[in-house]
Amino acid sequence: MSSREDASTGRHAAHAESFTHNADAYAAVRPGYPPAAVDLLVPSDAHDVLDLAAGTGKLTEPLVARGLRVVAVEPAEGMREQLVARLPQVEVLDGTAERIPLPDASVDAVTVAQAWHWFDEPVAAAEVARVLRPGGTLGIVWNDRDEDVPWVGAYGALLHEVAGPQLARGTHPTLGDAFTDVLRTDVRWEHVLTPEELVRLAGTRSYALVLPADEREALLERVRTLVTTHPDIAGRDRVPVPYVTRVYSARRR
Ligand SMILES: C[S@@+](CC[C@H](N)C(=O)[O-])C[C@H]1O[C@@H](n2cnc3c(N)ncnc32)[C@H](O)[C@@H]1O
C-alpha cells in the first residue's frame, strides 16, 4: 500500500493520532537533524520559515538557533505542548499541511521533517506553494537508519514485521508544477543512544504505538533481546546508530 492510499484510511488517522500519546518518548529518543542537513533545508538568505508538522520541535530548534523567524504548524496537541514548553519564543499553530493557517506568500522557506509521507501530497504541495513567496524554498527531510549495517538491519527487520512496508522509507516527494530545481542530497551521521533508549525508540514508531498493549510489549521485549545480545553491540553502554538523512530541496517558481 502506498502512503497516499494509506492517507485516506482510518488506519492512517490512528497512526497520526498516536503521536499525541507518546510525545515525551518521541522528544527523548528520536534523532534530530545534523547541521549539514539543516544547511540544505533552508537557504542562507531566508528570514521567515514555516516548520510544518513540527512535532516536538526537533527541527524547529536548530532553525531558531540560526536566528530565523520560525512559525511552527502541528496538528497533534501533545506534540504542540512539548514544542511550546521547549521553544516558548516560537509561534505554534494548530493546523495541517492540507490547510495551513498562514496567509498567501508569507514565508521564505517551508521545512517538513519526517512527515511528508503523512500528507495528502497534491493538496499539501499546493498549500505549501500558496504560503511561500515566489522563489521561496521547500525542504523535506527523512532520517533513515542505515540498515546495511547488520545489527541495524536486524533491528529494522523486527519493526518491519509489525509495520509491513515502511511508510516513509523510499518515499520520494512529487511536488507538481509549482516547484522547480528539485534536488536530493544524503547526509550520513550517527545518533548515540543507550541500549534502553534503542528499545524506547522502537516504541515511538507509529506502527508500534497502534498495537494492542500486549503485542507492543512483546515487540519491545524482542527488541530488548536483540540490542542486548547482538554480537556487534552487546554489552555497550552507548550505541552509535548510523543514519542516512535524505534531504530534498525545491524552489517555488
Ligand atoms: C514523525 S513526526 C515528525 C515531527 C517533527 N517534524 C520531527 O522531525 O521530529 C510526524 C509529525 O507529522 C504530524 N502530522 C501528521 N499528519 C499531518 C498532516 N496532515 N499535516 C501536518 N502534520 C501532520 C504528526 O502529528 C507528527 O507530529
Per-residue pLDDT tens for 114-160? 999 999 999 999 999 999 999 999 999 999 999 999 999 999 999 88
Domain-embedded: residue 9: yes
Q: Residues 153-185: pLDDT tens digits?
A: 999 999 888 876 555 566 789 999 999 999 999
Residue closest via CA to ligand 1's atom 25 equals 76
> What is this structure's pTM?
0.86
Instruction: Give the range of the structural domain holding residue 114, as residue numbers without chain letter.
Output: 3-145+166-191+241-252
The grid cell for 226 is: 536483540
Cβ neighbourhood burial of 6 (10 Å; 0-12, 13-18, 19+): middle
Q: Is residue 226 part of a domain?
A: no
Residue 41 has pLDDT above 50, yes or no: yes
Residues with CB under 6 A from ligand 1: 16, 19, 30, 53-55, 58-59, 74-76, 79, 96-98, 113-115, 118-119
* Ligand 1 center to 142 CA (angstroms): 12
Grid coordinates given for 167: 511508510
Q: Does residue 159 sit within a domain?
A: no
Q: How far apart are CA 132 and CA 49, in angstroms?
A: 9
Grid cell, residue 140, equals 523535506
Task: Identify which of 41, 61, 79, 123 to mutate to test ligand 1's pocket (most ligand atoms within 8 A of the CB).
Answer: 79
- Whether 187 is in a domain gets the answer yes
The CATH code of the domain that includes 84 is 3.40.50.150
| C-beta neighbour count of 84 within 10 angstroms | 16
227 belongs to a structural domain: no
Would residue 93 count as lying in a domain? yes
Domain tally, the chain = 1
Query: Which grid coordinates are listed for 147?
Result: 540498515
Distance 230 CA to ligand 1 centre (A): 32
Looking at the domain assignment, is residue 140 inside a domain? yes
Asked whether residue 8 carries a pLDDT value surpassing 50, the answer given is no
In a domain, 212, yes or no: no
112 Cα nearest atom in ligand 1: 6
